[in-house]
Amino acid sequence: MVKFAALTLALLLPGLAVAQTRIGEVSTTFRLVGPNDKVLIERYDDPKVDGVACYVSRADTGGLSGAVGLAEDPSRFSIACRAVGPVKIRGEIDKGKKGEEVFSERTSFIFKSMRVSRFFDTQKQVLVYLVWSTKLIDGSSYNAVSVVPLQN
């Protein structure tokens, strides 16, 4: 369901599509009915910064509710962003204290999403990526951070 919605959005709004690639997954909990619970590893390429890829591992809830897209995934994840080639900023990026949202993916049917925001540390000349979760009623403080230097 989530993948179908993301594909539909990518087809309708090609300028906003984000390159996401599933790298792998491991099964964590056996479910007799429906898919198992998993940890997914996905790669997101920064749409405004060439040569930067962020690898996110996150929980994916299985079972019947997970199979039909109604499960709520836990807000626990890890992120590692790396320079995978020459780092080049295309155009303008937000250099303010609130950063700029780079990626977003739903982790429940309606109320929750995982987001990756980019911040720019002008003093150290690094890009800082923060993965965090939103929830409509009760937010989550679970988060992780990764840094990519602009200079070699």
One-letter amino acid for residue 32 of the chain:
L
Tell me if the pTM is above 0.85.
Answer: no
Mind listing the pLDDT tens digit for each residue in 122-148?
999 999 999 988 765 666 678 889 999
Return the higher-pLDDT residue of 5 and 102: 102
Q: Which of 64, 63, 60, 62 has the alpha carbon at shortest distance from 74?
A: 60
Q: Which of 120, 118, 122 has the alpha carbon at shortest distance from 132?
A: 118
